[in-house]
Structure 1
């Protein structure tokens, strides 16, 4: 394991922790910068190390550090309304990394990879959101209501963050590749 990759993995876990604290509450799922840093990690680190950075962030939160949105921490967060989104972020980071590390990297390909990753995160997050309400809060809801609460308010912001992450990520990845800091 190259030390540079481990350092970048820790850096992105820290960026996720900081980005989680930039929070605008919009219902049960807050609006944060998490999506931006998950996408950025995927483009810059590649699939394996991006998943590692998201996993480190989740583990830090599970061990009690207040790294999740609104300063939340603990394993119980995984069973709450946002737990599915946390798992979705890991899959999203992997997909974005996989789709961008194998192709000739352009901003538009990165945007496409990020939108595919975003859909995956939304699907997994929505399933976790509904399961949390049904099994833990004992307040089942319809798909329509869950989508209107946990997905629709976030689509415009997350698409903008994805495009920004694609642009920045492609530029940073190219610079790191030229400098020999990543493979």
Structure 2
């Protein structure tokens, strides 16, 4: 009766049986392929921090070189020359974050004190007696402070988080304050107690800080502009690798299926 009521039942039964057998036979294969895909994706994800560290170390060396170049792009002024060093110092903290930004400036200081003539007036251990050495001491601290305020943590890999304008201004203004604070204090102490010349603290603050504030404000504006442009570019490209993951998974899965065949 059932076969008469359902004339197609007898035809569907062999197909259903074949489908069940096919699923049962390939069940282990499917689990194996998906586990291989997952393992490959996890291995790629685990390799990302290593690639980021290599990229950050490369950029660290680049900013060290840029700071060297900035020392020789300067306008001579009484006591303290105007240069582009502080521009690259703050930019290193913005781009690299506090750890690698400060590291780039520590490398700059170390190379200069080791004897390389990469400071504005030479190099070597005796450079600590220069009245302007305090500004150099402020470079690592400025990069670190700007990076901490902007990135919000000690190390977060190579990323440029989206930040409001107020936070960008605060981070870079704090970095400038570190440079000028150490620079003016060291300038006053060195001139009075090492060089033996009379220099009031008011004059040291005027000649070593206040006259540079307009140029520093211009540098900060350029740094913020560059940061926002670069951050927008990275944010626009951030989703591209993730969009390709399904295609990569499908390609790996198909390749493994062909190898089993």
Scaled by the length of structure 1, what TM-score is found? 0.89
Runs of 4+ in 1 over 6 A off after TM superposition: none
Larger radius of gyration between Structure 1 and Structure 2? 2
* Contact kept? 1:43, 1:170, Cα under 8 Å: no
CA contact 1:43–1:97 (8 Å) conserved in 2 = yes
Partner of residue 20, structure 1: 71
DSSP-derived class of the 1:141 partner: coil
1:45-64, aligned counterparts within 5 Å? 45-64=96-115
Name structure 2 gaps, 5 residues minimum. 1-49, 153-160, 239-261
**Higher RCO, Cα 8 Å, sep 6+:** 1
Counterpart for residue 73 of structure 1: 123
Residue pair 2:75, 2:81 contacting (<8 A) in 1 also:
yes
The offset of 1:105, in angstroms, is 1.8
Q: How many residues align?
A: 179
Distance 1:41 1:12, change over 3 A: same
Residue ranges of structure 1 left out of the alignment (5+ in a row): none
The CA deviation at 1:174 is 4.9
| Structure-1 separation of matches of 2:131 and 2:235 | 38
How far apart are 1:179 and its partner, in Å?
5.6
List aligned pairs for 1:18-167, cutoff 5 A: 18-70=69-121, 72-102=122-152, 104-167=162-225
Distance of aligned partners of 1:173 and 1:10 in 2 relative to their CA distance in 1, 3 Å threshold: farther
Supply the distance in 2 between the matched residues of 1:63 and 1:152 (Cα, whole angstroms).
32
